[in-house]
Amino acid sequence: MLLGASSSSAIFCPKNSITLQTSHKTTSVRHSMEGDQNFGFLSKKPYDPPSWALHLNPLPSHVFSLAHTPTPIHRWNLPNLPKDVELWIKRDDLTGMQLSGNKVRKLEFLLAEAVAQGADCIITIGGIQSNHCRATAVAARYLNLDCHLILRTSQALMEKDPGLVGNLLVERLVGANVELVSKEEYSRIGSVALTELLKERLIKEGRRPYVIPVGGSNSLGTWAYIEAVREIEEQLEQGKMKFDDIVVACGSGGTTAGLSLGSTLSNLKAKIHSYAVCDNPSYFYDNVQDHLDGLHAGVNSRDIVNIQDAKGLGYAMSTPEELTLLKEIAAATGVVLDPVYSGKAVFQMVKDITENPGKWEKRKILFIHTGGLLGLYDKAEQMVQTMGNWRQMDIGESVPRTEGIGKMF
Ligand SMILES: Cc1ncc(COP(=O)(O)O)c(C=O)c1O
């Protein structure tokens, strides 16, 4: 069986073809883990950190190749921005298809550790439309690991089939095991205890689970955007330019931690502006600090990143103004933002630039689009009012009706 084919239980052995008997079923698994058997993609390779990050500890030993990188950077002429602001966008929404967004960069490191530890399944947790859970489900299936998702939903929906909207459709197509918890239980018990509970149950069933925290954000996941900083540096060398500011959405802190640490340590030296779409800036300064301390970075989060509130109505709740801007930007530039993360971050960034033009005057800004497009499907109903560009085709009475009859297919 080739890599990526279905199995309920698998052991990872580099360059091996093995048959294993598990409590579930007998499976023949061939894993292409080292070298170029997949022309690089889906292969695991030793990790070589940037020279400016060598003092961080621990250093990851291996990394999987899952993302399509380097992602493009291009000019982004948003409507109504002041002329003296130069905006660019890095398209991390193009890191893959089902695997799109920033999460896949974290999974490159996290799944390498899971495999090194001999895991046969992955547990992770998030909201009902979590992009991270979807990316994990897809990446796990590529690597022939089973995936168990704990998804947070409202009490009223707990007993219903969770449906097939957006990320859920992909998760269920790739065969992830979905377990629902109510928002109340989630906040009473906490994500760590919930994943531990599931881990104990799976261990009792003879499995070897690897737990990935909310959003894939921890010190290991932080390497994703340390590495992305190296990528940006290399792209800038080709273009011989420099960015003054980098803007990104913040949901579980890992992307912000990696970008801000990388920007400080490397030659990038861009100011990082991180827009929090849940909790509040104070929570995220501490949360980012935890990720940095886990790497013994010896820096204070408050010195290396500017975290601002972009929550609006609340996590994953959109105002009509946010959705209208998202629509205007898509119509003007072709770039489709997600409503939960990048859409909110851009909304606040544009607001800040409009309200404080002096602060952004002559700045070269790079916005990182972190993906999450599937979340838009969840907002389809709310977005209908912002659209309007459809009508019935006007076919005049004089157009002959007989020709073509019976030739439909
Ligand atoms: C599409 C998207 N953008 C941005 C983020 C925020 O990244 P982080 O969780 O690393 O703060 C997330 C996840 O939380 C996401 O799914």
Supply the DSSP string of 185-207, one letter for each residue. HHHHH-HHHHHHHHHHHHHHTT-
Q: Which amino acid is at 232?
A: I
Q: How far is the CA of 104 from the centre of ligand 1 (A)?
A: 11
Run of H or E residues at 330: helix 320-333
Q: Which amino acid is at 60?
A: P
In the numeric block, which tokens belong to residue 348?
């606040």
Does residue 370's CB lie within 6 angstroms of at least one atom of ligand 1?
yes
Sequence-distant (≥ 6) Cβ neighbours of residue 195 within 8 angstroms: 123, 124, 125, 150, 211, 213
Tens place of pLDDT per residue across the chain (409 aa): 333 333 333 222 233 222 233 333 333 333 444 445 668 899 999 999 999 999 999 999 999 999 999 999 999 999 989 999 999 999 999 999 888 899 999 999 999 999 999 999 999 999 999 999 999 999 999 999 999 999 999 999 999 999 999 999 999 999 999 999 999 999 999 999 999 999 999 999 999 999 999 999 999 999 999 999 999 999 999 878 999 999 999 999 999 999 999 999 999 999 999 999 999 999 999 999 999 999 999 999 999 999 999 999 999 999 999 999 999 999 999 999 999 999 999 999 999 999 999 999 999 999 999 999 999 999 999 998 888 788 999 999 888 776 656 666 6
DSSP code for 22: -
Active site residue 130: yes
Per-residue pLDDT, 300: 98
Other beta carbons within 10 Å of 294 = 17
Q: Which amino acid is at 332?
A: A
Q: Which of 142, 140, 99, 98 is nearest to 121 (CA)?
A: 140
Q: Which of 326, 346, 316, 312 is nearest to 387 (CA)?
A: 326
Q: Which of 96, 94, 144, 103 is nearest to 124 (CA)?
A: 103
Q: Answer whether 43's CB lies under 8 Å from 37's CB.
A: yes
131-142 and 103-116 helices cross at what angle (nearest 10)? 50
Atom of ligand 1 nearest to the CA of 257: 10
Start-to-end CA distance of the chain, whole Å, equals: 39
Peptide bond into 70 cis (omega under 30): yes
Residue nearest to atom 16 of ligand 1 (CA): 131
Does residue 100's CB lie within 6 angstroms of at least one atom of ligand 1?
no
In the numeric block, which tokens belong to residue 299?
């820096």
Distance (Å, rounded) from C-alpha 290 to C-alpha 286? 6
Q: How far is the CA of 306 from the centre of ligand 1 (A)?
A: 17
Radius of gyration of the chain (CA): 23
Does residue 93's CB lie within 6 angstroms of at least one atom of ligand 1?
no
304, β-bridge pairs = none
Q: Which of 108, 137, 89 is nearest to 374 (CA)?
A: 137
Q: Which amino acid is at 337?
A: L
Atom of ligand 1 nearest to the CA of 106: 10
The long-range contacts involving 314-319, CB below 8 angstroms and separated by at least 24 positions, are 314/278, 315/127, 315/277, 315/278, 315/340, 316/127, 316/129, 316/340, 316/375, 316/378, 318/343, 318/344, 318/379, 318/382
Does residue 346's CB lie within 6 angstroms of at least one atom of ligand 1?
no
Catalytic residue among 130, 263, 274, 318: 130
Measured between alpha carbons, how far is residue 217 from residues 185, 290, 316 in Å? 21, 10, 19
Other beta carbons within 10 Å of 308 = 18
